A and B are shown apart, each in its own frame.
Chain A
Amino acid sequence: MALAVARVSMPATAKKGDIIEIKALMRHVMEPGYRSDNRGQIIPRDIVKSLSVMYAGAEVFRMEMHPAIAANPYVVFSTVAVDTGELVFTWTDEKGATTVEKKPLMVTA
């Protein structure tokens, strides 16, 4: 079963120049690599390394993640509404696999 991978919540419309709040919740085990299973074997590390958000041709947010971050990382940040367009969220794991989520934003004058 393919799991729901992300939930992004943000306003659908904003006035030009407004500061908008964006909440991004991603489903991931964030296995730190320090734990062992019930046979004493180390559970291999499996974490999301980064979240990057592109908007209006620029990277508006980037975050590096580390093993101490809890499962299902939840990130809240803000940006300024400049132009109608898509916000593209990209989470990248250690193996380079990416999860991409896109959200449209309508900007009014």
Chain B
Amino acid sequence: MLRAALLAGLLALPAAAQTPRIKSASEFLSPDLKALQADETANPGMLWVDDGARLWRETAPDGKSCASCHGDATESMKGAAARYPQVGAEGRLLNLELRINECRTQRQIAPAFAYESEPLLALTTYVARQSLGMPMAVKTDDSAATFYKRGEAFFHRRQGQLNLSCAQCHDGVAGSRLRADVISNGAINAYPAYRLEWQTLGSLHRRLRACSLGVRATQFNHGSDEYLSLELYLAKRSQDLRIESPGVRK
């Protein structure tokens, strides 16, 4: 009994800080943009965090709010974003957006928010913000293994008219310039992020669609199985990178 408790205690210890495999995309930002992201009073993504904080307490028609079950998000949601995507109860891979929507439809008995809608972006950003500075740590074993392998295959598969794989740019030539921008390693620790190109905040899947378009490949839907598996793979690639949401990107 005591030994089991001790063991559980040991297992609960945070893993020693590891050196991440890849660089956070903010390492490739200009000093100005880096400062904009770091300053809570200037980062435009914080507008969505404010919105999320209000939505967290807003009650659905059944009288329940996020806060009715989860209480204070600054406590209960700490570290949540670091563990997503993960496999849900029904064997489906869920990222933060889908997890929030699952709560909404199954617990609050309210209609799901559309992917990329303002309330879903706001809640996702608010939840992700509670893990600020915590290292990404998704699980890729057991039931997640199939999704992980699928994502890994996607990352390495050549696609589109330009016949490029994600790996060719984001592993091969990361750090070099692609027109006015610098190619990053494809780390996802700052999403949802405010992109200057969009003039607004957007989800990771919106960013992935932009990448797909860039190589003239099929753009999958927001929340599609393809992008979810890829998100899991990218989250694993980003392991030990500190969460920065909402990031500021070009």
Instruction: Give me the interface of A with B, judged by CB distance under 8 Å.
Output: 1, 3-4, 7, 9, 23, 25, 27, 29-30, 70-72, 74, 76
Q: A1-B118, A72-B47 are in contact. Are A29 and B55 (CB under 8 A)?
A: no
Q: Is the CB of B199 within 8 A of A70?
A: yes
Contact residues of B with A, CB < 8 Å? Answer: 40-42, 44, 46-48, 50-51, 54-55, 118-119, 196, 199-200
Identify the closest chain A residue to B39 (Cβ).
A23
Complex interface: chain A residues within 8 A of B119 (CB): 1
Which of A9, A25, A29 contacts B44 (CB under 8 A)? A25
Select from chain B the residue with minimum beta-carbon distance to A26: B47
| A1-B55, A3-B118, A4-B50 as given contacts; A9 in contact with B199, CB under 8 Å | no
Q: Which residues of chain B come closer than 8 Å to A76, judged between CB atoms? A: 42
Report, nearest first, the 6 A-B pairs whose CB atoms are least far apart: A9-B41, A71-B199, A4-B50, A72-B44, A4-B51, A23-B41
Contact A7 B41, beta carbon cutoff 8 Å: yes
- Known contacts A71-B199, A71-B200; 14 further A-B pairs (Cβ under 8 A): A1-B55, A3-B47, A4-B47, A4-B48, A7-B41, A9-B40, A25-B41, A25-B42, A25-B46, A27-B47, A72-B200, A74-B42, A74-B44, A76-B42
Per DSSP, are chain B's interface residues mostly helix, strand or loop, or mixed? Answer: helix
Given contacts A27-B47, A70-B196, A71-B200, is CB(A4)–CB(B54) below 8 Å? yes
> Taking chain A's interface residues, is the majority helix, strand, or loop, or is none over half, making it mixed?
loop
A27 to B199, CA, bound (A): 11
B220 → chain A closest CB, angstroms: 19
Task: Give the docked Cα–Cα distance between A70 and B33 (Å).
Answer: 15
The CA-CA distance from A25 to B44 in the complex, in Å, is 7
Residues of B within 8 A of A3 (CB): 47, 51, 118
Residues from chain A with Cβ under 8 Å of B51 in the complex: 1, 3-4
Chain B contacts for A7, CB-based, 8 A? 41, 46-47, 50
Closest chain-A Cβ to B185's Cβ sits at a distance in Å of 27
CA distance A70 to B42 in the complex (A): 14
Kindly state the separation between the CA atoms of A1 and B48 in the bound complex, as whole angstroms. 12
Q: How far is the CB of B101 from chain A (nearest CB, A)?
A: 15
Collect the chain A residues with CB atoms within 8 Å of residue B47's CB: 3-4, 7, 25, 27, 72
Bound-state Cα–Cα, A76 to B55, Å: 28
Q: What is the minimal beta-carbon distance from A86 to any residue of chain B, in angstroms?
A: 19
CA distance A74 to B55 in the complex (A): 24
- Give the chain B neighbours of A4 by CB distance below 8 A: 47-48, 50-51, 54
Which residue of B is nearest A22, CB measured? B41
Could you tell me the distance between the alpha carbons of A44 and B127 in the complex, rounded to whole angstroms?
A: 34
Q: How far is the CA of A76 from the CA of B42 in the complex (A)?
A: 9
Task: Say how far B236's CB is from chain A's closest CB, in angstroms.
Answer: 33
Q: List 16 A-B contacts (CB under 8 A).
A: A1-B51, A1-B55, A1-B119, A3-B51, A4-B47, A4-B48, A7-B41, A7-B46, A9-B41, A25-B41, A29-B200, A71-B199, A71-B200, A72-B44, A72-B47, A74-B44
CA distance A4 to B46 in the complex (A): 10
